[in-house]
Amino acid sequence: MAPVEAVRALFRRQKWWETLFFLCGVVALASAFSVAFLGADSAPYSVKTNEPLAPVDSPRFAESLSYLVNAPIERGGSVEVLDNGDGFLPALLRDIGAARSTINILVYVWKDGRMSDQLLDALIARQRQGVAVRVLLDGFGGDKAPDELFDALVQAGGRVASYREASLTTWMRVHRRNHRRAIVIDSRVGYVGGMAIGDQWLGNAQDEQHWRDMMFRVTGPMARRLQAAFVGPWVSASGEIVVQPAAEPPVEASGVERFIHHVNSPADDDQSMAYFYLLPILAARRSISLTTPYFIPDEPLKAALRERARAGVEVRLIVPGRHTDHALTRFTGQNAYDTLLEAGVKIYEYQPTFIHSKVAVVDGQWSIIGSPNLNTRSRRLDEENALAILDRELAAQLERRYAADLARSSAIDLGDWRRRSPLLRLVQLSARLIENQS
């Protein structure tokens, strides 16, 4: 029997009211799924400012951004750029070894392996010596963490909690993950950036199994501010409110000229992390350098990149090449290439391995570092945190690294891109079906 005939026969055997109840149930389930997982997105299709923006190095620009995302403008502290695992892990282990009172760790991914073993051994040792260790795992990102070593950390007195594990009480929010990076030691040293705990972050991006990424070691007020990304989800997961110690380290007056630390919990009417990146792009006068592992721009971001490129700003974007852990996300983002290239945006695909760095530099002065990607999840779904920093030396360091990454990337040529195969076009269009959850 044909499928259509089978369905008709099924309905003929039911009473009219049974069919009505069945159809109502289907509609109710579809509606519940749409509300829970798709949301009623009220973000504007286009975004513009009411008057011309001040340059990114002006106090007026910082004020505008501060009001927009509801985060204070601060100053002071230092930033050290750490390349790949060879830069990140030794520095982190040194700071853990020197910890005196507290170690708070929040990263999205935590996988069993050599990196995890080294870090947990150090944490267990410090906990046994009286340092209070707290680790917040994400319910999904930390599902491959080593239970035995975490049990040993708990037995030593450490505290471990898991954020939003899948359950009957969380099923409507379980797709909204805690993607933040916030490692804070003694309220004086912090780490933020793209890296997490897994063996793909070891080494120096020397082959396809080891990723290209950056982490940033911050001190002073910036380290203190990172606590804001940790304490909120920690109390939700553990029931413990972390209060600041009575004797805090002195605040550094010297250091970076200006910074804003933004912590977001996106909702349908609040996509402030998108604006945290959008406003500096709209204010750019000379150059925009972006690196992101997951590129799915919304309409305001695409329009801003096109407009700035047409205005004579050098707009450059580095994204992964064929080495990526989410091929469909890459194909989805490629749907934006045509109009961006036509406007003069320069797009490069990194070749040696997966590039997982998350960095923006505007006009060689304003840098953005942190956990967000330029994709739908970071705008609409996931908990994120990022630092925007006005510091010319930091921007110069990041631009030098950008130039080195460009040398290992392939430029996308508009003419060649428009001649891509019909099969690739079909794959890219099909991939757009997952855009709202990528």
HEC-encoded secondary structure of the chain: CCHHHHHHHHHHHCCHHHHHHHHHHHHHHHHHHHHHHHCCCCCCCCCCCCCCCCCCCCHHHHHHHHHHHCCCCECCECEEEEEHHHHHHHHHHHHHHCCCCEEEEECCCEECCHHHHHHHHHHHHHHHCCCEEEEEEECCCCCECCHHHHHHHHHCCCEEEEECCCCCCCCCCCCCCECCCEEEECCCEEEEECCCECHHHCCCCCCCCCCECEEEEEECHHHHHHHHHHHHHHHHHHCCCCCCCCCCCCCCCCECCEEEEEEECCECCECHHHHHHHHHHHHCCCEEEEECCCECCCHHHHHHHHHHHHCCCEEEEEEECCCCCCHHHHHHHHCCHHHHHHHCCEEEEECCCCECCCEEEECCCEEEEECCCECHHHHHCCEEEEEEEECHHHHHHHHHHHHHHHCCEEECCHHHHHCCCHHHHHHHHHHHHHHHHC
Q: Which CATH number characterizes residue 265's domain?
A: 3.30.870.10
The verdict on 64 and 139 lying in the same domain is no
Q: What is the pLDDT at residue 18?
A: 60
Residue 102 in tokens: 């507290």
Same domain, 209 and 101: yes
Residue 23 or 212, more confident = 212
Q: Which among 238, 273, 308 is the end of a domain? A: 238
Res. 34: pLDDT tops 60:
no
Q: pLDDT confidence of 359, banded at 50, 70, 90?
A: very high
Beta bridge partners of 270: 267
CA nearest to 302, candidates 111, 9, 46: 46
- Count CA atoms closer than 13 A to 405's CA, side-chain side: 34
268 located within any domain: yes
Whether residue 425 lies inside any domain: the answer is: yes
Residue 6 lies in a domain: no
Q: How large is the average pLDDT for residues 196-204?
A: 98
Q: Is residue 384 part of a domain?
A: yes
Q: How confident is the model at residue 164 (pLDDT cuts 50, 70, 90)?
A: confident
Between 254 and 122, the more confident residue is 122
User: What average pLDDT does the segment 30-43 reach?
Assistant: 54
Q: How far apart are CA 219 and CA 89, in angstroms?
A: 17
pLDDT mean over 224-228? 95
Is there a contact between 350 and 321 (Cβ–Cβ < 8 Å)?
A: yes
Q: Tokens 């045509």, residue? A: 338
Q: Which of 238, 266, 291 is the last residue of a domain?
A: 238
Q: In terms of DSSP bridges, do strands 214-219 and 79-83 run parallel, antiparallel, or are they unpaired?
A: antiparallel
Domain-embedded: residue 11: no
> Could you read off the pLDDT of 42-63 as tens digits, one per residue?
678 899 999 999 999 999 999 9
For residue 245, the number of C-alpha atoms closer than 13 Å in the C-beta half-sphere is 14
Could you identify the residue written with the tokens 């959850």? 437
Residue 168 lies in a domain: yes
Q: What's the whole-number mean pLDDT along residues 83-98?
A: 98
Answer yes or no: do 303 and 402 share one domain.
Answer: yes
Confidence check: pLDDT of 247 > 70: no
Position 122, amino acid: A
Average pLDDT, the chain: 90
Q: Looking at the structure, do residues 127 and 219 belong to the same domain, yes or no?
A: yes
172 compared with 366, residue with greater pLDDT: 366
**Tens digits of per-residue pLDDT, 379-408?**
988 999 999 999 999 999 999 999 999 999
Tell me, yes or no, whether 317 and 414 share the same domain.
Answer: yes
The angle, 0 to 180 degrees and rounded to 10, between the axes of the packed helices 114-128 and 84-97 is 10
Scan for tokens 């391995």, then name that residue. 353
Claim to verify: residue 279 and residue 357 sit in the same structural domain = yes
pLDDT in the model for residue 438: 47
Helix 327-334 to helix 422-431 angle, to the nearest 10 degrees? 100
In terms of C-beta density within 10 A (0-12 exposed, 13-18 middle, 19 or more buried), how is residue 285 classed?
Answer: middle
Q: How far apart are CA 125 and CA 120, in angstroms?
A: 8
Quote the domain boundaries for residue 62: 43-72+257-437
Q: How many domains are contained in the chain?
A: 2
261 with 304, same domain: the answer is yes
CA dihedral 415, 421, 424, 428 (to 10 degrees): 50
In this structure, are 318 and 386 located in the same domain?
yes
Residue 251 has pLDDT above 90, yes or no: no
Q: Check whether residue 429 and residue 308 sit in a common domain.
A: yes
Quote the tokens at residue 415: 């003419």
Band the pLDDT of 77: cuts 50, 70, 90.
very high
Q: What is the pLDDT of residues 256-275, one digit of tens each?
A: 999 999 999 877 677 899 99
d(CA 301, CA 304): 5
Dump pLDDT digits (tens) for 307-343: 999 999 999 999 999 999 999 999 999 999 999 999 9
Q: What is the pTM of this model?
A: 0.89
Q: Does residue 161 register a pLDDT over 50? A: yes
Q: Does 407 lie in the same domain as 333?
A: yes
Maximum Cα–Cα distance for the chain, whole Å? 80
Q: What is the dihedral of CA 338, 340, 343, 349, to 10 degrees?
A: -90
- Residue pLDDT, tens place only, 372-384: 999 999 998 899 9
Angle, in degrees to the nearest 10, between helices 147-155 and 114-128 = 10
Residue 251 lies in a domain: no
7 within a domain of the structure (yes/no): no
Whether residue 313 is found in the same domain as residue 409: yes
Q: Residue 230: is its pLDDT beyond 80? A: yes
pLDDT over 70 percentage in the chain = 85
Query: Is a pLDDT exceeding 90 seen at residue 40?
Result: no
Instruction: Please give the structure tokens belonging to residue 306.
Output: 């096109």
pLDDT at 20: 65
Compute the distance between CA of residue 169 and CA of residue 178 in angstroms, rounded to an integer: 17
264 and 409 assigned to the same domain: yes
